[in-house]
Amino acid sequence: MSSTATTADAVPADPPQPRTRPGTRWGRAAWGRNGWLRELVLVAAVYFAYDGSRLLVRGGVERARRDALRLLDVEQWLHLDPERWLNADFTAHRWLGIPADFAYASLHYAVTPAVLVWLWRHHHDVYRRARTWLALSTVLALVGFVLFPAAPPRLLPDDFGFTDTMAQHASVGWWGDSASVPNGLASMTNEFAAMPSLHVGWALWCGLMLLTYARDTTVRTLGVLYPVIIALVVMGTANHYLFDVLAGAGVVLVGRALTGPALRLRDRVRPAPRPAREPS
């Protein structure tokens, strides 16, 4: 099935850009061929911003637990707390828990960069908007981490009934018993980055990109299933609440709405590229 009919609905193609003179600020010489080095720097900046958000959290674990209990209270009042029975099932059945642990520890860090590279190589006309959409969504999530540093279910006291499945199955994976990163690197993660769920937000962005631009029906179907699976995984492993999942999807939708205005503002304040001199 061709994706031509749906391309304009998600991320409109960028208008053709004038050629820039090699060696200028915006030329290839400044950032590598076609600007790939610039994109690598931007991705690294987003990651370090995510990691650095933990330094801005005030109040420590006690505040994070208080914020988490507020979420649970509202969910229970609404009778919407599927993370409890999902976690119970993932804990009771290794065939559910172990694959979910591997999915949580790896797909978030592998699929998103892979989709970015795929867009860069095969859909370069929409890459700038897609990348900006992802970056804005991530920045919105970082604001949430700082303003509402909620502890994930796995960090609540035992009497709340949640089990950290990654700690339960740490012996079969590369992660430690306190985080999804390799053992010994837990200090590199923000333990209170639960609200909103960037796992779900990035998965939704990836799913929309695959659904919109992939031509293969199987890949498009995976684009639909991927964010749903990740939503179940993050709740089943006791890493996120239902409200975290909904908020993760929400920041992606808001990020999409802000993408057009942000790019128009960027184009107004950036100096216009100087056209390349035609050979005489």
* pTM score of the predicted model: 0.78
Q: For the chain, which residues make up each domain, given as ranges? A: 41-269
Work out the average pLDDT over 50-69: 67
Q: Which two tokens stand for residue 99?
A: 């694959």
Residue 7 pLDDT greater than 90, yes or no: no
Distance of alpha carbon 59 from alpha carbon 53, whole angstroms: 14
1-10, 17-26, 114-123: which range is least confident on average? Answer: 17-26
User: What is the CB neighbour count within 10 angstroms for residue 87?
Assistant: 23
Distance of alpha carbon 57 from alpha carbon 4, whole angstroms: 44
What separation in angstroms does the CA of 1 have from each of 213, 214, 219? 10, 9, 11
> Each residue of 93-147: pLDDT tens digit?
999 999 999 999 889 889 998 999 999 889 989 999 999 999 999 989 988 888 8
Distance of alpha carbon 207 from alpha carbon 101, whole angstroms: 20
Residue 20 pLDDT greater than 90, yes or no: no
Work out the average pLDDT over 150-163: 88
Residue 8 pLDDT greater than 50, yes or no: no
Residue 243 pLDDT greater than 90, yes or no: yes
Work out the average pLDDT over 259-273: 81
Q: Which two tokens stand for residue 183?
A: 């053992």
Query: Considering only CA atoms, which of 106, 133, 111, 151 is closest in space to residue 244?
Result: 151
List residues bridging with 235 in a β-sheet. none
Distance of alpha carbon 128 from alpha carbon 26, whole angstroms: 14
The answer to whether the CB of 244 falls within 8 A of the CB of 200 is: yes
Q: Which two tokens stand for residue 56?
A: 């801005």
User: Which alpha helices (H) appear in 148-241, and where do they start and end?
Assistant: 165-168, 198-213, 217-236
pLDDT reported for residue 29: 40
The answer to whether the CB of 125 falls within 8 A of the CB of 13 is: yes
Residue 178 pLDDT greater than 70, yes or no: no
Residue 246 pLDDT greater than 70, yes or no: yes
